[in-house]
Structure 1
Amino acid sequence: MVPHIKHILYATDLSDGARRAMGYAVALANAMSASLTVVHVIKETSPNAELLIQAFLGYSSKEEVKQKSRAQITEEIKERLGQMCGELGCQLPDCRFSLADVIVEFGRPRETLLNYVETGNYDCLVMGRQDYGFIESAITGLSSKNLLRHSPVPVFLVPMPPGTESVPVAEKQE
């Protein structure tokens, strides 16, 4: 039986490796005339960081900070990811895929991605491979093996070219 891929979930952490993986997700979606949903999960901020932001911006509550910053961050990321997907689609000779949705969530990346693949109507997951060290993988639980072990759909891991490093945008700015 040859599987028919109709809906692809592409996960991004906004790193260079994720951008490379997006090229593969777009190419696969185009080849299969599939729809593509893009998801980005933002790790929750620490309570101390929220208090500092609250005080600095003069908001009355942490919830007000969360709602305003989440809405702004979400819209900016959605807009940029939509643009990136459009740019990659324009590079194709025939653009036969559709961008179904761009989702930006706050939470734990691994759990959120697993929730999407378990509850959504996706035929596969495409993402860049992150080669975290042993200790970081044990602490964060973000290892590709862990995601592969629990995903009910096929997972396509796109490696970085040899000699390059994939660092999420948020970590580059720190």
Structure 2
Amino acid sequence: MRILVPVDGTEASGRALAFAIDMAVEMEATLHVVHFTDRETDATETILDDAQAKLDAADIPDQPELTTITVAIWTADRVGKEILDLVETRDYDHVVMGHHEDGAIERAVFGSAAETVLRAEVVPVTIVP
């Protein structure tokens, strides 16, 4: 099994990563952690360092992959579509994502990457609040 888990530095994505690590260990699956950004900053490095520390502490059978993908226009819907592109091109079997509550205005303007992936119905998705 191949599991994809996007991280964004929020508490919800941290919980999703912990869940995905447990899932990968239990199912002897491969794990790919990805961070999407419009430009790499110190925050990007912090997010990746935190994810790497969690991966290093886990006993995952296959070496997890950790990457950053830069997207020109960064919106939640765009990130959702990028995740779906990864699922298609890299043949992932499952996606684990965090989802944090946004206000109604934020949701109307930006949408949700998790909703975009979930509604596509192309791969099983676990949403971790």
Give the alignment's Cα RMSD to 1 decimal. Answer: 2.3
The reply on whether 1:155 has 2:125 as its aligned counterpart is yes
Aligned in 2, Cα 1:141/1:112: closer, same or farther, shift over 3 Å? same
TM-superposed deviation, 1:97: 3.0
1:23-102 equivalence runs, <5 A: 23-42=18-37, 44=38, 70=40, 77-87=47-57, 89=58, 95-102=59-66
Distance 2:11 2:64 in 1: 23
Query: 1:110 maps to which residue?
Result: 80
C-alpha contact 2:13 2:97 (8 A) present in aligned 1: yes
Query: 2:7 maps to which residue?
Result: 12
Cα deviation digits, residues 28-76 of structure 1 (max 9, x gap): 000100110001111x26xxxxxxxxxxxxxxxxxxxxxxxx3977666
- Classify the secondary structure of the residue corresponding to 1:99: coil
- Classify the secondary structure of the residue corresponding to 1:114: helix
Percentage identity across paired residues of the two chains = 30
C-alpha contact 2:81 2:116 (8 A) present in aligned 1: no
TM-score (norm 1): 0.61
The answer for unaligned runs of 5 or more in structure 2 is: none
TM-score (norm 2): 0.80
Query: 2:103 maps to which residue?
Result: 133
Aligned in 2, Cα 1:144/1:97: closer, same or farther, shift over 3 Å? same
Query: 2:115 maps to which residue?
Result: 145
